[in-house]
Structure 1
Amino acid sequence: MMEGDSPSITHSDEYRLLETYCQKRKPSTSPRRSLCMYSREAQTGSEKYGNVAEKLTRIVDSGLLADNGLETDSVNTDVIEKLVELLKKSGDDLNEKIKKDHELLGYLQSTLSYDFFEKLTTAFIKSVVPGFLQSRNKHEEIALTFEVTSRLGALDLHPMNRVMGFGAQYLQKNFTPWVKQHGGWEKAFDDNDEVH
């Protein structure tokens, strides 16, 4: 079993919510695909997680990913900075941009681990949500974690379930206590106002 793919992770609320979010972020290209996505969403608990995934999508789409610069203190600062910038500006051509950068592609293919995912996600969040606001903007930080996981999972570098396992681990480590404190995923995202 690969790192980030343990049964406790893949059956967690965080993992299933990530599945639902990633399905919402995928563009449907044909009616047949839409039907497949519908049945996949039903399997992953769309009824239970659909509202939360929709709210997370709205948070990310609200202009949260404006280019604000980047501050990191990581050993792999250059790679992380490059990836953060690509992920912030990503569109349909993200895969192509990464494939053209052979150094970055090789690095990602050989070193994508939970530790790297954690450094990248933390740098991504810090680049978007100023440090002095991070303790107050949990909704935004959580939404950005979902978006990083979705964008990395869409790359053709690693199996989607591995990346989602990393995302679920990151959520459990950094946000699950806060979510539980606020009554669970649905209650923590009951309204659009930030819960402090």
Structure 2
Amino acid sequence: MQGQPQRQRGLALFDVLIALLVLALGVPALCRLQALVLLEGSNARARAAAAQLAREKLDDLRQFTQLPAAGGGTYGFDECGDDRGGRENADGSLMVAAGDIALSDFRYQRHWSVSGYSWCDAAALTPGVCSGSARAALLQIRVTLSWTQVDGSAAELSLDGAIAAIDPLLAGGALIRRPSLLPPAPLPL
């Protein structure tokens, strides 16, 4: 059996060096990827919390119980303004206030701005001049939250919404059909 070549068994030194090189490059890359995934996951949680805090304030501003300002725990539409307005405690302080909010390892700054819009009367005496109502017909709200992310960079989220000046006591009346003495009109064919 001296004429037959022997079969090689085991790994050659070259194969071991290639495997070590692949591990030496792959393991640090996986560690960097894991760190990036953790960082972005934390930033995503912060962004989701900021969106929830902005929605909370926008919903709070929609909870007025009457149009005129009242004070003393009653929130009126006319009280809504930059960093003011919303449901109130009995002492008149806001339940959902502007300023610092500490939540899940992040510190947020919540502020909002309000722009009022009025409907223009097409039959006004002077063209282009809106009716002289003291109350805006529609408020455009922008709630902004800012915070510092895990990597130290600044982040900001803004949520826009609108609130119409509709008296809550009369709002449901638009959905109720008043009874009529006349029979309903026939549907066109």
Higher helix share: 1
TM-score (ref. length: structure 1): 0.23
Higher Cα Rg, which structure: 2
TM-score (ref. length: structure 2): 0.23
